[in-house]
Each structure stands twice: as structure tokens, then as C-alpha cells.
Amino acid sequence: MTAALQELAETFEFLDDWEERYRYIIDLGRKLEPLPDEYKIDDYRVQGCVSRVWLVPRADPTDESRIQFVADSDAHIVKGLIAIALLLFDDKTPEEILEIDTREVLRRLDLAEHLSPSRSNGFYAMIRRIRETAERRLHGTPIEACVVIQ
């Protein structure tokens, strides 16, 4: 578990009430850098989310083996879930991405039990898109071609 994720888990443990945790998740989403409108197109849209979610992979300019992600949503809580996904997967190699046990992380955060079914489905759709991108990159697909159009 990364230091950032460890810190998130400790913050969640400190916040007793799920209302406080939801507010914290929303605050995480507010800290995301805004996604330029040119990327808010169907090619980058994550299907399976009730809210609109866009996820854009890009190569790390200093290390082409690492994948960075920028993402956005039109829903506050979903933006927070995006922030959590980015804590997990951003700026990692495809191998590192594929080694992450997302279900274990969600269990550790006790998040899976407190998301509505539609938010869980959307969160896992984002994770699937990230993992598909890593798989494609692992097999030599250039990052520009890793976008999974559905």
C-alpha cells in the first residue's frame, strides 16, 4: 500500500461517521485538476457509470513506462472516488497497476460496504478501464492507442 493510500486509510479510521467520510471523499475530488473540455468526449467516457466520467491515460513525460491518468466527473462524490482511484493507479507501470488488489483496498477502507450499487458499478468500471489500459500498454500498445472505446 502506498504512503498516500496508507494516509487515506488512517484518515478513514479517524473519521467515525460515514457522513464525515463522504465529505472527505468529496473534498478529495475538489482537489483534482480540472479536465480540459477537449477531453470530455465519448472516446474518454467510462461506460457503466451513472454519472458522466472521463478518464484519460497519458505517458509520464519523464518515464514512458509509467502511465498517468487524468479524470473528471459531473458528480461530486464520483470525483472523490476518482481521486481514490488515482491514488491507487496514477503514475505506475502497467505491471504495478495489474498487481493492485482493488477489492482488498476497498475492504481496508470499508468503502465497498458504503457505496450505492450504482456508485460501486461506476467505480469498478473506472478500475476496469484503468486495468485494460495497463494490459494494452503492457503488450506494447502506444499510450495514445490505449483508449478503450466502448
Residue length, the chain? 150
Q: Which residue has the cell 519523464?
A: 62
Query: Is 49 an active-site residue?
Result: yes
Q: Which pairs count as long-range contacts for 127-132, CB under 8 Å and 24+ apart, including other chains?
A: 127/85, 127/89, 127/102, 128/48, 129/46, 129/55, 130/55, 130/57, 130/69, 130/85, 130/89, 130/97, 131/97, 131/98
Active-site residue among 8, 49, 86, 111? 49
* CA-wise closest residue to 149 among 67, 42, 25: 42
The residues carrying an active-site annotation are 49
